[in-house]
Amino acid sequence: MLSAPTEHLLHTKSDVAADLTLSPKRDPFGKVASWTTRFTGGRWGFLLAFASVLVWACLGPVFNFSDNWQLVINTSTTIVTFLMVFLIQNAQNRESKALHLKLDELILSTRRARNELIDVENLTDEQLDRLRVRYRQISEDCHANRDKEEFLHPDFDEHPSAHSHRRGHVH
């Protein structure tokens, strides 16, 4: 049984489905950032960039390969790169949030999952390193017991205290 503080956080499937069917409300920056990263990350974005460089290179003889001619490409690429960093970071942050929410949902819905791993991305580097060592040891234990096939059984657990953090565990 879940503790009282966490019970109110769970919704029925219909509540969650109702929340997800609402049309996404994105701010103008989010819309522009999403469209721009999709466009520039595809073939048309590459072709536009390639065509721009090709036109610039073809104009070299017309401008006698002057300093201003070189300044145009240097300034253009610097500005585009500077702005794209923020757009790409925005897209990465949004995708990372969505991925973590999906993983959190899988952890929460999986019977043998340890709920302590929900929001694990908020831990310190030292805490993450300790978890990595813990799961590496579990993996090694499973590989060592592979011939016994015990680890395939649903009740197999390498650490007796591992279930103490699972959903529904009563102390």
**pTM for this predicted structure:** 0.56
pLDDT of 25 > 60? The answer is yes
Rounded to the nearest integer, the mean pLDDT of the chain is 77
pLDDT band with cut points at 50, 70 and 90 for residue 75:
very high
Q: Give the whole-angstrom CA distance, residue 84 versus residue 86.
A: 5
pLDDT number for residue 8: 47
Residues 6+ apart with CB under 8 A from 159: 138
Would you list the domain boundaries of the chain? Answer: 11-109, 122-165
What value does the mean pLDDT take over residues 35-50? 93
Distances in whole angstroms, Cα of residue 69 to Cα of each of 11, 46, 66, 81? 61, 22, 5, 19
